[in-house]
């Protein structure tokens, strides 16, 4: 099953619909969707290294636009914001995130936007905390752009070798990926 899913993602990554799918996943991940856009960005760059930076730009723009939706959820849809935070293990997240923004402000967006911690937690909590919108937008552009362009650059340079290695040991890398994701959630819970 894992191989079929992997092959499907690679086929989608090489198709004409790939940029739209990447934009949709990037947009949704920043506000409510649990899957990060990296799962599409990586195979797309591997399939078309000549478009690496175009894909990174699509990821960045859609992620920031989705981040604005996440911010709006935090500002205008408190019950939905709390439901999303609860789903990701932060039932009492509003007070926690308000404290983070009060103490660290801009650093929360800049640091967490680069990490595998779900960006929606940052965007929704920024809205709940009523963090300055202008600062939120430029920080989101900076941090998400840095993450996606760095990833695209690495994949463009080393993508073929990485792709061969992943295809050879797909199951073990899938397990490692899940463990990293779980570790991110645990670290967020413990450190938060």
Question: Is 141 inside any structural domain?
Answer: yes
Question: Is 154 inside any structural domain?
Answer: yes
> What is the rounded CA–CA span in Å between residue 64 and residue 135?
12
Burial of 183 per CB tally in 10 Å (0-12, 13-18, 19+)? exposed
What pLDDT sits at residue 192? 54
Residue with tokens 């998400």: 144
pLDDT over 60 at 52, yes or no? yes
Please, which pLDDT band fits residue 112 given cuts at 50, 70 and 90? Answer: confident
Question: Is 140 inside any structural domain?
Answer: yes
Residue pLDDT, tens place only, 60-85 = 999 999 999 999 999 999 889 888 88
What pLDDT sits at residue 185? 62
Distances from the Cα of 118 to the Cα of 55, 134, 153, angstroms: 20, 21, 22
Question: Is 57 inside any structural domain?
Answer: yes
Element containing residue 21 per DSSP (H, E): helix 18-29
What pLDDT sits at residue 114? 74
Please, which pLDDT band fits residue 163 given cuts at 50, 70 and 90? Answer: low
Mean pLDDT of the chain: 82
Domain that holds residue 43: 2-8+31-191
Please, which pLDDT band fits residue 149 given cuts at 50, 70 and 90? Answer: very high
Question: Is 159 inside any structural domain?
Answer: yes
What pLDDT sits at residue 179? 74
Closest CA to 132 of 73, 81, 71, 84: 71
Burial of 52 per CB tally in 10 Å (0-12, 13-18, 19+)? buried
pLDDT over 80 at 44, yes or no? yes
Question: Is 63 inside any structural domain?
Answer: yes
Question: Is 183 inside any structural domain?
Answer: yes
Question: Is 15 inside any structural domain?
Answer: no
The pTM (predicted TM-score) of the whole model is: 0.78
Residue pLDDT, tens place only, 21-42 = 899 889 988 888 777 888 788 8
Number of compact structural domains in the chain: 1
Q: To the nearest whole percent, how much of the chain has pLDDT over 70?
A: 80
Please, which pLDDT band fits residue 159 given cuts at 50, 70 and 90? Answer: confident
Q: Are 64 and 99 contacting, i.e. CB atoms less than 8 angstroms apart?
A: no
């Amino acid at each position: 099953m894992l191989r079929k899913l992997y092959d499907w993602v690679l086929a989608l990554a090489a198709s004409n619909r790939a940029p739209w799918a990447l934009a949709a996943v990037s947009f949704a991940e920043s506000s409510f969707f649990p899957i990060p856009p990296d799962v599409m960005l990586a195979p797309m760059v591997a399939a078309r290294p000549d478009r690496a930076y175009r894909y990174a730009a699509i990821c960045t723009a859609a992620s920031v636009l989705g981040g604005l939706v996440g911010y709006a959820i935090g500002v205008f849809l408190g019950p939905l914001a709390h439901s999303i935070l609860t789903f990701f293990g932060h039932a009492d997240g509003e007070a926690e995130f308000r404290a983070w923004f009060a103490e660290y402000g801009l650093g929360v967006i800049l640091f967490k936007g680069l990490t595998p911690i779900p960006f929606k937690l940052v965007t929704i909590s920024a809205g709940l905390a009523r963090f300055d919108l202008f600062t939120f937008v430029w920080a989101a552009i900076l941090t998400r752009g840095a993450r996606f362009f760095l990833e695209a650059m690495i994949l463009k340079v080393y993508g073929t070798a990485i792709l061969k290695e992943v295809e050879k040991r797909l199951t073990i890398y899938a397990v490692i990926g899940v463990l990293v994701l779980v570790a991110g959630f645990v670290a967020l819970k413990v450190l938060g």
